[in-house]
Every structure is written in structure tokens, then in C-alpha cells.
Copies of this chain bind each other. A is one copy, B any other.
Amino acid sequence: MKFVKVQNDERTAFKKNWNFCVGTGRIGLALQKEYLDHLKLVQEKIGFQYIRGHGLLSDDVGIYREVEINGEVKPFYNFTYIDRIIDSYLDLGIRPFIELGFMPSALASGDQTIFYWKGNVTPPKDYNQWRDLIVAVVSHFVERYGIKEVQKWPFEVWNEPNLVNFWKNADKQEYFKLYKVTATAVKSVHPSIQVGGPAICGGSDEWIVDFLNFCAEENVPVDFVSRHAYTSKAPHKKTFEYYYQELEDPEDMLQQFKTVRELINQSPFPHLPFHITEYNTSYSPINPVHDTVLNAAYIARILSEGGEYVDSFSYWTFSDVFEEMDVPKAQFHGGFGLVALHLIPKPTFHVFAFFNALGDELLYRDREMIVTRRKDGSIALVLWNLVMRKGNGFAKEIEIEIPLSFADVFIKRQTIDEENGNPWVVWKQMGRPRFPSQRAIETLRQVAQPKVTTKRMKVEDGVVRLPVVLTKNEVTLIEVEPVNDETYTYVGIDDSQITSYS
């Protein structure tokens, strides 16, 4: 059994960078009702500040078209859908973290696309027209939402240009050219608007160095650096519906955060903010790990410490309303979402909600737990028991000693593990219905809630000792509040006078 003694006087801040941003499927999906219902739930229980996704400039959002009038081809900018989308975001209390991409068909230099929804990933056929498009879009945002609002929105140039399937030939010089034209265009609308890149995925971090050197040498504006982080290896098995992959340890992901931060520190722009604009265990939208409690325990570790190294890290994604690999084919299909189809929260959703209950003051942290104090003096802890090996067992016992000035405390514990808050397992018992009936959906929603247990404890000698047992991959939130016992005001109260009570 592990024993942890929390010190009262370690008062460092727990940074909330973990809730700065969250990912979304192509933003055209934000027109959908179910998408917005999921986002509403996420905002109520977690409350992210920003949302980021692909496809702003792709054909389905409809912004860029060309029209031939009197023999002359002219651009036509259509903001019907994007206005509706951003209005919806702001109504739900979340701001866009703008990703400028992909290429409108009419502006594209080639026909290479990515995803079921066919995002064009080729450079513009004409950089002047691209620049005009960027200026038109950013100017429209400023006109509709005001510069005070828009200067709070980061603008990131493209997505993962270091991959051949996201950027033709993964051509670095071409990306730098795109970046320069785009960043300059954004700044031409208003110099206070933030722009950054290079939005790469892991594996080519020399891009970070080269990118910052390029900006320095060419005097190109850059307000932040962005990069992605996943820890899954190449799939070792693929079926029509699922990819299976092994995962690196979560420490590997934190190391990625640190490594790139160090590269920036050494660059000509050592003080630039660094945003992880996507992260998750697996980068595949059909890996069943995303539906499991293993994923939840894994992410708990990242949330607990990631903010020490990066200014934000954006979980990819908030919802299974997502279409990269075609319309989802089953209730649970290994999607990235915190929320499964039919508004069913997954285990990882609750990990974010648990972290949302933590305080601003960090009292203790190790690789398996974090202890905080909230403004009202109450204590909130999250513990997790990540086990990446097969088999049963692996329960972990911990005793935590917390110094408290209260007399009695009320302890509330919320848990997700294999048996609680785990709709994926119940769905398997049901026979994995692809398109569940209304009754099945209701059951899945019921079982998707954490188990809640409560008790009252005495503080003795100025401390309370909490014994905690964690099952394999359990994540638990414990809240410790003072009891203000009012029982004495019910003069003469005596529960033993009730039939069958003693």
C-alpha cells in the first residue's frame, strides 16, 4: 500500500491549460443538431474556451466559389454557413481556434484529397487569390464579431503539412510560402490578430526549428507555435471497421511536449506560446481504445501535468459526430469523441469533468494522482490507476493524509471503471447493436454516469486519512468538504423512532 502525505504549505498554482481548447470533426458538422447537443453537454460539464477543427475553407462550408461574369472569372465569398456556425459556438460560450485550410476546389492546384469528406490538400493555384480569400474571411469575421472579439481567436495556418496526405508532397518550402502569404494577409486585416503554425504532427520536429528560423529570417509574423501529439504506433491489425494499435506510455507524450518547448526556447522566438492543437492516445478515428476506461486513465495522466509544458493541449475530439472515415457505422465505433452518438458520455468525458472540479491550488501531484484546494477551502483529488497490461487484478491501495482545519468532513467520491460509467461494456452485453433502439439508448445513458459514493469522516489530530482502492484503470474524483452539522437544531430528533431504523 502506498502512503501519501499531503503538505499544507505547498501552494503552487494548478494551471488550467487542459481546458483551453478541444478538437472537433470538420466544422461543417457544426450545422448539425446532434453535434450542437453534444457540445452543449460538454460546455455544461467541462467548459472549454476554444474549439478547433478542419475544413473551414473546404467546399462543404461553401465560403469560396468562382463565378464567370461577362467572361471574367471572379471570386464569390459565401458566409451563410460559417456565420451560422460561429454564432452557434459563441452562443455556447466557446470561441473558434481557427485553422486556415483546406483548399477550396476552385482554388486548388491539384485534386489530391483527404478523408471521406474529401478535403483538398494541394497548394493554391494562385497565391494572390488565396491571399484575397484569407483577407476576405478575416475581414468578414471582424465586421460581424468586432475586432475585440476576433483578436481573441488564434489563426493557425493549415494542418500537419509534414504529412504527404495532408499537404502535397509534405513540401516544407511550399508550406513556408503558404504560411508567409497567409500570416501577412491575416495581419493586414488587423495587426493584433494572432497567427501561428506550423501545426505539424510528431515525427518531424526539425520543422519547428526551420519554421521559426524562416520567420525570423524573412521577418514573417508569428504569434504562437503549434504541434500535435499522439502515442499510438502503426496499426497491428485493421478490419473494415476498426484499427488496433499499441500505445506508448503517457510519459512519452509529456516528453513530446517538453522536447518541443525546449526547441522553441532555443529558437529566435523563445517566449512564444506553444499550443498542442491535437492530442489523443490513438490518431485513428476507429480505434476502440477511445471508448474504454483505459483511455480515460491514460488521459488523466496527461491532464494532470501537460499544462506545465504547453500553453494548451486540445483533446481530439469532443464528439463522435465525426466523418473522416465515413459516417459512423455503429453506436461504438472507436471514435475520438468524449461523447458517443445519442448523447452518451464516454469514460474520458468524465475525466475532463473530474478535472473541472479541481481547485486552482496544487497541493500534491505524482504520476497517479493530483490533490488541489479550491477557493472555498475544500479539497479535490483525482486518482487514476493506469494499467497497460492484460489480465485481471492490478488493484492499487493508497492512503492519503490531508491536513485539515475542519472538524468533520463529507467525502464524495465519483468513479469510472470497468463496471461504472462504462456504456461500451453494456453495449457489448446487448450484442453490440449498431443502431440501438430508443430503449437501449436510455439504458446506455443511465449506465454512462459515474458511480457516486459518500461518507462522513472525522478529522483527527488535524488530518484526515483517506483509504482508496483503485481497480484496474479506474479514475476517481474525491471531494472533501467540511460538515456544518445542523442536527442539533432539530430538537428531539431521533431516527430510531422510525419503524425498522435504529
Chain A contact residues, CB within 8 Å of chain B: 31-34, 36, 62, 65, 67, 69, 76, 78-81, 83-84, 87-88, 140, 144, 236-237, 239-242, 244, 246-247, 288-289, 292, 294, 326-330, 341, 387-391, 408, 410, 412, 426, 428-435, 437-438, 443, 446-447, 449, 452, 454-456, 472-473, 483-487, 489-502
Contact: B239 with A491, CB < 8 Å? yes
Chain B residue nearest in CB terms to A392: B502
Q: A452 contacts which of B36, B79, B447 (Cβ < 8 Å)?
A: B447
Which residues of B have CB within 8 Å of A449?
A: 446, 449
Which residues of B have CB within 8 Å of A454?
A: 426, 429, 443, 447
Which residues of B have CB within 8 Å of A237?
A: 492, 494, 497
Contact: B69 with A240, CB < 8 Å? yes
Q: A84 contacts which of B34, B84, B326, B428 (Cβ < 8 Å)?
A: B34
Which residues of B have CB within 8 Å of A62?
A: 326-327
Q: A487 contacts which of B36, B431, B490, B499 (Cβ < 8 Å)?
A: B431
Contact: A292 with B410, CB < 8 Å? no
Q: A81 contacts which of B69, B79, B327, B483 (Cβ < 8 Å)?
A: B327
Contact: A492 with B390, CB < 8 Å? no
What are 13 A-B contacts defined by CB distance under 8 Å? A31-B31, A31-B34, A33-B33, A33-B88, A69-B491, A80-B341, A236-B497, A240-B491, A241-B492, A294-B498, A294-B499, A431-B456, A432-B486
Which residues of B have CB within 8 Å of A292?
A: 498, 501
Which residues of B have CB within 8 Å of A431?
A: 408, 410, 456, 483-487
* Bound-state Cα–Cα, A489 to B242, Å: 13
* Bound-state Cα–Cα, A246 to B498, Å: 8
* Bound-state Cα–Cα, A88 to B37, Å: 13
* Bound-state Cα–Cα, A501 to B237, Å: 15
Given A32-B31, A80-B329, A431-B410: A289 and B499 interface contact (C-beta under 8 Å) = yes
Contact: A144 with B437, CB < 8 Å? yes
Contact: A498 with B446, CB < 8 Å? no
* Bound-state Cα–Cα, A434 to B485, Å: 10
